[in-house]
Amino acid sequence: MSASKRLFICGIATESHGFNKKPTILEDFTERGLFFACEHDDLSRFREGDNHIGGYLDVADAEGWELVAGVSGFAFPAGPVSEETFETLWGRIEKQLRAEGPFDGILMPMHGGMACEHLDDPEGELVARIREIVGREVLIGVTLDLHSNLSPQFIRDCDIVCGFHTAPHIDSRKTSFRVASIMARAFRGEVNPRCHSIHPPMLTGIDHGRTTVPHAPLFALLDRIKELQAEDPQLLDASFMASFPFADQPWTGPSAVLVMDGESDRVKDYLDEFGAEIWRTRDVLTIDIVPIDEALDAVERTANAPNPFLLGDFSDCPYAGAYGDTTALLAAMIDRQIPDAVFAPVFDPDTVDQAHQAGEGAEIEVALGGKSDPDFGGGPLESRARVLALSDGNFVHKGPFQQGRPGTLGKSAMLDIGGINVIVCSVPTQIHDREQLRLFGLEPETMNLIVSKAFNHMRADLEPICRGLLYPDAGGIFSFDFEQFPWQKIRRPIWPLDDFEIAPADMDRS
């Protein structure tokens, strides 16, 4: 067996909404992030559960690697990362990389959907800076969310790039395992990994990467990969990135990424095929995005059926970089006097404080939500409200998504506003687990309507108890009405903003 390998783990990961006015700052990584590993951190806490680093640890254990922890942070989605934040994190990574090398490999737990105030291709820039320090010989392997926007240059600078194969995402660990396993084979001299990619000029694609129905386009692409791998051992791995469409960066858009062993004559054909397929399926959507009225019509029409109706107020989903405080859909629900309904949650710490000060049962005048950007999805809703319940917002997930993990809405309250139960929170978040509703004394199974500011993850626990699911577009900043945004940096022409046709031969690739 060859001498033990030393690998460095580092990364800057987030998903940035180019039209969210609240920049992502250092504390969003270090204090409020999904995880933050520091220099020389004990990574063993990532040994359990579904996370990016666990898959690296699994391979490192088997191979006897020495893993050196560098700065590795994952911030929840918000606006572009501030220059100071990116450069501060990079400064820490650079210092350690120069001082503690040489390393045989670099493992990077990333997202791929980041935007920065000062960089057009943040992930590409990060990898390029690392490449400049470690040289061409050191292997760089990156784990990505499938909602990533990748540049050809990023692909050229990496040796191994693997993205999730599921959305909702339940394969973080498996994806990192794929990265590290290929790296292990490369160290053993079995393979010589090289990345290739094609980038169809689209804002979004592959049904946003959903794997919630059998006819999802992503399943067809992954099945095709299995077919090809059965006859071509050089095809080591493939990922299909659905993009994070609101990043407003030059490389915003979907891509197919292949990891090949050495030079291959077949790469061009593969890229042509996948570029064409992503373009061909650009209109495929396996969810129903409808106007608000159409959604509420469906709720009223089915009101006598058992089980609640589920509406995703997705255009204001904080897990997708929106603010979580718009009110347009709530106003429509109040207008229609929808009975036994909950609208949740509205991010509004001031109203939460007001409710806690007044106490349960009290009546208060509120200007609820709509404060982050009143131009999108409805401004503050002024109304008289009754305080129904107060909570610290802490719960433990019981549904399949994040099962067993503690979660929080922050200090929170449930108000009666115009006959609707409205949950107000002080941490921007979504409802994706029934426990979050039970906190306020609601019995989700017996309700008429549950509205969550969520997109995909709520489906794991809530969809099984619901009589129907629709996505009303209430005009928040995650609205798929792409025309309404002042795009500045994206490629043009681009689908669906421009009317054009393109052949795979004319698509960007690396």
Residue recorded with tokens 């979050």 = 436
Nearer to Zn ion by C-beta: 147 or 432?
A: 147
Nearer to Zn ion by C-beta: 147 or 194?
A: 147
Full strand arrangement of the beta sheet holding 381-391? 289-290, 468-472, 309-312, 449-452, 341-347, 420-425, 412-417, 381-391, 363-368
Distances (CA, A) of 269 to 100, 198, 276, 317: 42, 11, 11, 38
Nearer to Zn ion by C-beta: 147 or 397?
A: 147
Nearer to Zn ion by C-beta: 34 or 228?
A: 34
Measured in whole angstroms, how far is the alpha carbon of residue 382 from the centre of its chain? 32
- CB 466 to Zn ion: min, Å: 23
- CB 405 to Zn ion: min, Å: 17
Q: Kindly report the number of other CB atoms within 10 A of residue 169's CB atom.
A: 18
User: What does the radius of gyration of the chain's CA atoms come to, in whole angstroms?
Assistant: 23
- CB 270 to Zn ion: min, Å: 24
- CB 457 to Zn ion: min, Å: 10
Do 134 and 103 touch, CB atoms closer than 8 A? yes
Dihedral of the alpha carbons of 141, 144, 150, 153, in degrees to the nearest 10: -10
- CB 208 to Zn ion: min, Å: 9
Q: What is the dihedral sign for C-alpha 353, 359, 365, 366?
A: positive
Distances (CA, A) of 312 to 246, 249, 292, 328, 433: 19, 27, 11, 13, 13
Nearer to Zn ion by C-beta: 147 or 371?
A: 147
β-bridge pairing 35-37 and 160-163: unpaired
Nearer to Zn ion by C-beta: 202 or 355?
A: 202
- CB 60 to Zn ion: min, Å: 25
Residue nearest to Zn ion (CB): 147
Task: Verify cis geometry, omega within 30 degrees of 0, for the bond prior to 102.
Answer: yes
Nearer to Zn ion by C-beta: 13 or 68?
A: 13
Q: How far apart are CA 383 and CA 509, in angstroms?
A: 54
Q: How far apart are CA 415 and CA 409, in angstroms?
A: 15
Do 316 and 474 touch, CB atoms closer than 8 A? yes
- CB 36 to Zn ion: min, Å: 19
Do 361 and 370 touch, CB atoms closer than 8 A? no
Nearer to Zn ion by C-beta: 97 or 110?
A: 110
Nearer to Zn ion by C-beta: 74 or 343?
A: 74
The residue among 334, 234, 346, 225 whose CA lies nearest residue 277 is 225
- CB 437 to Zn ion: min, Å: 24
What residues have CB less than 8 Å from 76, skipping those under 6 apart? 14, 28, 32, 33, 34, 318, 319, 428
- CB 169 to Zn ion: min, Å: 6
- CB 147 to Zn ion: min, Å: 4
Distances (CA, A) of 338 to 297, 378, 449, 451, 465: 10, 19, 8, 12, 19
Tokens, residue 370: 């709509």
- CB 319 to Zn ion: min, Å: 9
The contact set with Zn ion (CB under 5 A) reads 145, 147
Nearer to Zn ion by C-beta: 147 or 196?
A: 147
Written in H, E and C, the secondary structure of 248-284 is: CCCCCCCEEEEEEECCCCCHHHHHHHHHHHHHHCCCC
Nearer to Zn ion by C-beta: 126 or 317?
A: 317
